[in-house]
């Protein structure tokens, strides 16, 4: 789940579920299995001023919550960091910060020159995702958000001499438009004898049960438990016994039920309904999931809190708190900046109206502070060896006749587009080339009528 999708249907499924009969959403954070492949993910984009809040938003949204609803929260990162078993595939919307040092950085900056300041100061992307990347060390990591194809290969450090080194193959793709690199096929090792159904992950369910007491549906900022003398418990990772209990609860049947439930009327073109305000909905899938595993239904808890506060005249007070959501009066974030994918800066981004309003562009050039140095050195070679299964296409980094050079770490430079093309690509600027925020309202017909709208 990113910042372009509708938040209200996804909020009905905080622990995951079917958004359509054949489309499964992982939730705010989640882990599932398919044919023996373990797939995890975290939704949203990182914004420091909302990171330590609870999931308090619900429809109908106001000008603040329509954005904060898709901001990553620390509790989801905390839950994922309790996992001990290896992850095969992990997905996030925005990129992990620093991953650009492990791919063809020179070509990335040629295609997206406006990333240069953030890449050089190591402030592009999500520090929370970077933290998860270093902890989980998945075999593959897929991201979106920045609308450019980019592959990287990251070798992780080992904690001991006996531990085998792990590596992550990272891949992000471009927008789904004509002549853009928006699709790549990757072969993943799997169990060919496994069933053709999505399955729950027993360790993840056990982690959800262990962390259930940490659920927060308020706007109050709080830190996750850590080993600092302030918390009686800080390790919420689960034992083999706890995992076995989950398996026993499910009678060793981990298959996710195909229980998609329609919670909104299908669109009827003969009866157009304009300006319909979304309503706060309790999804039966979530009710069933929480009942089965003894978890807190976040939306039910939010509904209870709303009903309790409605009789106490707290609306004005809540509005004031929401208006304060820029973070100016908040405690400093545990991370040094809040650039998270430059959703207000990328000219290729499809913008929501006034989407840029919750991010100050002046933070784009902030250097890492001494207290929070970059996670990785910025002195990496511009060209790294790409994994075979993630070979970058000729339009991305390498010449199509240069595969052997690519594998050995060398490459030819791709000719830059003409200055005319490039100035058109950086839409939204003045005659001097100063770029501004472009807000685009698109319709599918308009996108595909043109050969490539962005050129």
Among residues of the chain, what percentage have pLDDT more than 70?
Answer: 68
**pTM (2 d.p.):** 0.74
pLDDT tens, 128-158? 999 999 999 999 999 999 999 999 999 999 8
Structural contact between residues 347 and 244, judged by C-beta atoms closer than 8 angstroms: no
CA–CA–CA angle 254, 259, 261 (5° rounding): 150
Give dist(CA 367, CA 26) in Å, integer.
34
| Chain centre to alpha carbon of residue 374 | 20
Q: Which two tokens stand for residue 396?
A: 């991305």
Q: Which two tokens stand for residue 291?
A: 């009942």
Q: Which two tokens stand for residue 333?
A: 């974030």
Q: Which two tokens stand for residue 425?
A: 């690509």
Q: What pLDDT does residue 273 have?
A: 77
Assess whether pLDDT exceeds 90 at residue 203. Answer: yes
pLDDT tens, 362-390? 333 333 333 333 344 333 333 344 444 45
Structural contact between residues 4 and 93, judged by C-beta atoms closer than 8 angstroms: no
pLDDT tens, 218-275? 999 999 999 888 888 999 999 999 999 999 999 999 999 999 999 988 888 898 877 7
**Alpha helix ranges (H) inside 85-238:** 105-111, 116-120, 127-136, 202-210
Least confident segment among 284-293, 341-350, 377-386: 377-386
Higher-confidence position of 361 and 388? 388
Distance from first CA to last CA of the chain, Å, rounded? 28
pLDDT tens, 392-430? 443 333 333 333 333 333 333 333 344 444 433 433 444
Assess whether pLDDT exceeds 60 at residue 455. Answer: no
Rg (C-alpha) for the chain, rounded Å, is 23
Please enumerate in sequence order all residues whose Cβ is within 8 A of that of 454, keeping only pairs 6 or more positions apart, or say none: 177, 348, 425, 427
DSSP string, 288-299: HHHHHHT---HH
Task: List the beta bridge partners of residue 170.
Answer: 141, 152
């Amino acid at each position: 789940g990113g910042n372009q999708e509708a938040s209200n249907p996804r909020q009905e499924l905080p622990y995951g579920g079917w958004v359509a009969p054949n489309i499964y959403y992982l939730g705010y954070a989640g882990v599932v299995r398919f044919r023996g492949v373990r797939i995890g993910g975290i939704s949203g984009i990182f914004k420091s001023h909302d990171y330590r809040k609870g999931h308090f938003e619900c429809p109908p949204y106001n000008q603040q919550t329509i954005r904060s609803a898709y901001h990553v929260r620390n509790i989801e990162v905390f839950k994922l960091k309790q996992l001990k078993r290896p992850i095969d595939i992990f997905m996030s919307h925005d990129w992990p910060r620093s991953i650009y040092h492990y791919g063809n950085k020179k070509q990335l900056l040629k295609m997206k020159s406006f990333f240069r300041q953030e890449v050089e100061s190591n402030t592009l992307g999500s520090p929370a995702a970077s933290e998860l990347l270093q902890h989980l060390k998945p075999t593959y990591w897929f991201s979106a958000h920045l609308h450019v194809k980019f592959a990287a290969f990251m070798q992780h450090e080992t904690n001991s001499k006996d531990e085998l080194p792990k590596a992550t193959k990272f891949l992000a793709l471009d927008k789904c438009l004509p002549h853009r690199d928006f699709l790549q096929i990757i072969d993943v090792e799997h169990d060919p004898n496994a069933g053709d159904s999505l399955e729950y992950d027993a360790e993840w369910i056990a982690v959800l049960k262990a962390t259930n007491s940490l659920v927060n549906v308020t706007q109050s900022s709080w830190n996750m438990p850590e080993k600092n003398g302030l918390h009686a418990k800080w390790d919420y990772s689960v034992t083999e016994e706890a995992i076995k209990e989950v398996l026993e609860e499910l009678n060793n049947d981990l298959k996710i039920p195909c229980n998609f439930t329609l919670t909104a009327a299908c669109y009827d073109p003969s009866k157009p309904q304009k300006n319909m305000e979304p309503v706060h909905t309790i999804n039966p899938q979530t009710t069933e999931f929480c009942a089965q595993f003894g978890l807190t239904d976040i939306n039910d808890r939010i509904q209870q809190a709303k009903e309790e506060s409605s009789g106490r005249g707290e609306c004005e007070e809540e509005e004031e708190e929401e208006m304060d959501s820029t973070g100016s009066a908040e405690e400093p974030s545990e991370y040094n900046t809040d650039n998270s994918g430059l959703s207000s800066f990328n000219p290729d981004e499809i913008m929501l109206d006034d989407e840029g309003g919750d991010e100050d562009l002046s933070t784009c050039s902030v250097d890492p502070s001494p207290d929070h140095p970059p996670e990785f050195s910025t002195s990496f070679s511009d060209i790294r060896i790409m994994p075979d299964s993630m070979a970058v296409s000729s339009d991305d980094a390498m010449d199509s006749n240069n595969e052997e050079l690519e594998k050995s770490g060398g490459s030819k430079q791709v000719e830059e587009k003409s200055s005319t093309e490039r100035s058109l690509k950086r839409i939204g600027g003045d005659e001097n080339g100063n770029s501004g925020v472009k807000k685009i309202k698109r319709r599918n017909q308009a996108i595909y009528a043109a050969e490539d709208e962005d050129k």
